[in-house]
Amino acid sequence: MTHLGARLTHIGPGRVHIVLPARPEVTQQHGYVHAGATSAIADSAGGYAALTLFDEDSEVRTVEYKINLLAPAGGDHLEAIGTVLKPGRTLTVCQLEVYGVQGDGARKLVANGQQTLIRVVRPGQ
């Protein structure tokens, strides 16, 4: 996330927001944020959202995710929101949303998806 320039802006039980400023380093040839960067912040938002519900000896890893790119990822920045739909001892399912946000606060849903994560015990624990 540091490499992309993304940052966590909200952390709550089962819900995390990540913001990615739109800048040339993360855009594609038409000036929109690249699908890879869009997907990366969505995946991380869901993973961190799941992690908020586990103890400190736990980690999560993505088992699978599906993302629908609904519109070109434009705006001053993107905001990914990961929300836990179904927590579990082993598998957790999250909803993923990514919004393009303009400077005036106008928001447009540019991607949505679903993710399954597996809880693992941190090595050495």
Residue 55 domain-assigned? Answer: yes
The pTM for the full model equals 0.94
Residue 105 domain-assigned? Answer: yes
Q: Which strands make up the sheet holding 107-121, listed edge to edge?
A: 7-12, 15-21, 77-86, 91-101, 107-121, 58-69
| Token pair belonging to 108 | 């447009």
pLDDT tens for the chain, 125 residues: list them: 888 999 999 999 999 999 999 999 999 999 999 999 999 999 999 999 999 999 999 999 999 999 999 999 999 999 999 999 999 999 999 999 999 999 999 999 999 999 999 999 887 76
Residue 56 domain-assigned? Answer: yes
CATH number, position 86: 3.10.129.10
Question: What range does the domain containing 55 cover?
Answer: 7-121
Domain count, the chain: 1
